Amino acid sequence: MNESSRLLRIVVPIAVGIAFLLLWEGSVRYFGIREFLLPAPTRIAQSLVENFGSLMGSLWITLRITIVAFFLACVGGGGLAVLFSQSRAIEMALFPYAVILQVTPIIAIAPLILIWVGFDHTQLALLILAWIVAFFPILSNTTLGLLSADHNLRDLFRLYGATRWQILTELQLPSATPYMLAGMKISGGLALIGTVVAEFAAGSGTSTGLAWRIVEAGNRLDIPKMFAALLLLSLLGITIFFGLAWVEHSLLKRWHESAIRRER
Amino acid sequence: MSEAPLIELSGVAKTYGSGTLALTGVDAKIERGSFVSLVGPSGCGKSTLLRMIAGLIEPSAGAIAWPAAGGERPRDIGFVFQDATLMPWARVIDNIYLPLKLKGITKNDAEPRIMEALARVGLSDFAQSFPRELSGGMKMRVSIARALVTEPPVLLMDEPFAALDEFTREKLDDDLLELWASQKWTVIFVTHSVYESVYLSERVLVMGARPGRILQDIAIEAPSPRGRAFRESTAFVGQCAKISAALREGAKG
């Protein structure tokens, strides 16, 4: 890709965004749309500034739970995948339950987890719920990656008398890295979704994350603040996605096909 | 020959779980320091036989003995696959280090041997490259260097140059002969190219399919060292014709 087309990739979406905001602002003013139906972008920005302190506090709470849940999902999903790759019996015994956890809608499990953990430990409940949503893509991708190591390379390792541990660390884990990173990219977004859903389920008064701010602002018909919180959630999701994409690119750029840009 | 053979195959057979008879009744002796090719059509079990010699597959019947190596299969066997089979995430130097690393040798101790192996295949300048930065022929050289780094008494090669273009292939054939002449390992070379087998080896074991078996054991007569002139000589063409005839005979059943 050459310089000018790379520039276009940045400029065009920004121009579209600005045009959209202008159209929005203009329509709200021209048609006199009421604030509690659709606030103008400038009004949302104003609300963001006015509520900056409380919104940032909430952002931090949501961010913290998302990050911890994501981290635990990497450890749990990756660890379980390694276990599965080492023992067919364990995989056979546990994998169906991992699938059940994944396919059961999180919003349906949330009340149960909240009761079990207790309403005085809401943060822990949020963490568990976000983890349940986030761990599966890492588990299934890493399992696939660990089993996808080149069979001839495996034979070569056997030929040189490699131990199981050496095969795991020198062959299977490096082979699984691109798969695991792809899983992590999905899980990062899911951890945020899990946190938000869990916050909604936990209800008001017990947790003060961004989702709760949205519920609270909605109850008070403070729609500009609702949009402001929504904006912060989107920015958070975008940051997580691009952060993980950057990690993926920097880890794989030297060797993996997915990260190599070809001259044409 | 008075010396005991390095490898002795007696009645070796392989039946896969599906009931396919891949090989039956293979008897052969491989002398130490010899260069032997296995030639045959697809499905004649030549790769299976090579993998059995390497210990990657167990024979269903018969035995593979190593009389000249104290009876046991040597721990260091060099194996070269049809694909270079390199670790894409590791630099060339680390790919070659692999066999030594798996034995617990530190990289510092291994480095002179790695560089020597790289020099032997003419890739000294590419130690820090990643496999994807190399051409097909260069990757194959790295693969050979990796097989050489343990100084193996036996080098097993499974159609190593089959995926390369003719020009690169001939160059690598010559390099392989040169290495073999200087090191005198035992080489067992699987190929489906009659020309390559005649050019490289002292002996050609012609194999047939359904079931896989050895049809003929043909000694190759060639000047030493071999080169361009041999490739174009009538003696070369004659011996190729002989092997082709043996293959056709086998195909008739």
Q: How far apart are CA B190 and CA B196, in angstroms?
A: 10
Give the pLDDT score at B38.
Answer: 94
Residue with tokens 């609270």: A216
Residue A56 has pLDDT above 70, yes or no: yes
- Give the nearest partner residue to A150 out of B85, B90, B101, using CB atoms: B85
pTM reported for the whole predicted model = 0.84
CB-facing half-sphere around the CA of A116: CA atoms within 13 A: 10
> Could you tell me the sign of the dihedral formed by the alpha carbons of B38, B42, B48, B54, in that order?
positive
Spell out the domain ranges in chain A.
1-33, 40-259
- Give the nearest partner residue to B87 out of A160, A174, A254, using CB atoms: A174
A156 contacts in chain B (CB < 8 Å) = 79, 81, 85, 98
Per-residue pLDDT tens digits for A65-82: 999 999 999 999 999 999
CB atoms near residue A205 (< 10 Å): 10
Report the residue of A148, A154, A160 to disrupt the B interface, i.e. the one with the largest count of B CBs within 10 Å: A160
Residue A206 has pLDDT above 80, yes or no: no
Cα–Cα separations (whole angstroms), residue A131 to A67, A168, A187? 10, 26, 9
Per-residue pLDDT tens digits for B98-136: 999 999 999 999 999 999 999 988 899 999 999 999 998
Per-residue pLDDT tens digits for A125-180: 899 999 999 999 999 999 999 999 999 999 999 999 899 999 999 999 999 999 99
CB atoms near residue B95 (< 10 Å): 25
Minimal-distance CA residue of chain A relative to B76: A160
B131 contacts in chain A (CB < 8 Å) = 255
Cα–Cα separations (whole angstroms), residue B196 to A60, A65, B160, B193, B217? 68, 64, 11, 5, 16
Mean pLDDT on A86-108: 88
Question: Two tokens at B193?
Answer: 């190219």
Q: How far is B121 from chain A (nearest CA, A)?
A: 20
| B107 interfaces chain A, CB cutoff of 8 Å | no
Contact B168, B84 (CB under 8 A): no
- Give the nearest partner residue to B102 out of A155, A162, A177, using CB atoms: A162
Burial group, residue A32, by CB count within 10 angstroms (0-12, 13-18, 19+): exposed
Cβ contact (<8 Å) for B85 and A152? yes
Question: Two tokens at A56?
Answer: 């940032």
- Which residues, in sequence order, are CB contacts of B36 under 8 Å at separation 6+? B30, B186, B187, B188, B189, B201, B202, B203, B204, B205
B81 contacts in chain A (CB < 8 Å) = 152, 156
CB atoms near residue A259 (< 10 Å): 15
Q: How far is A152 from chain B (nearest CA, A)?
A: 7
Cα–Cα separations (whole angstroms), residue A9 to A5, A6, A22, A33, A61? 6, 5, 21, 34, 33
- Give the nearest partner residue to A153 out of B51, B55, B85, using CB atoms: B85
Cβ contact (<8 Å) for B89 and A255? yes
Pairing of strands B186-191, B35-39: parallel
Minimal-distance CA residue of chain B relative to A178: B89
Q: How many residues are present in chain B?
A: 253
Residues 85-104 of B with CB under 8 A from A: 85, 87-90, 98-99, 101-103
Cβ contact (<8 Å) for A255 and B88? yes
Residue B56 has pLDDT above 80, yes or no: yes
Mean pLDDT on B70-93: 90
Residue with tokens 């694909």: B83
- Give the nearest partner residue to A159 out of B54, B89, B101, using CB atoms: B54
Based on its alpha-carbon atoms, the radius of gyration of chain B, rounded to whole angstroms, reads 18
A171 contacts in chain B (CB < 8 Å) = 87
Residue A2 has pLDDT above 90, yes or no: no
Contact B215, B207 (CB under 8 A): yes
Average pLDDT, chain A: 90
Cβ contact (<8 Å) for A155 and B56? yes
Q: Which amino acid is at B153?
A: P
| B133 interfaces chain A, CB cutoff of 8 Å | no
DSSP E strands in chain B: the ranges are 7-15, 21-30, 35-39, 61-65, 77-80, 154-158, 186-191, 203-208, 213-219
Average pLDDT, chain B: 89
If one looks up domain A40-259 in CATH, what number appears? 1.10.3720.10
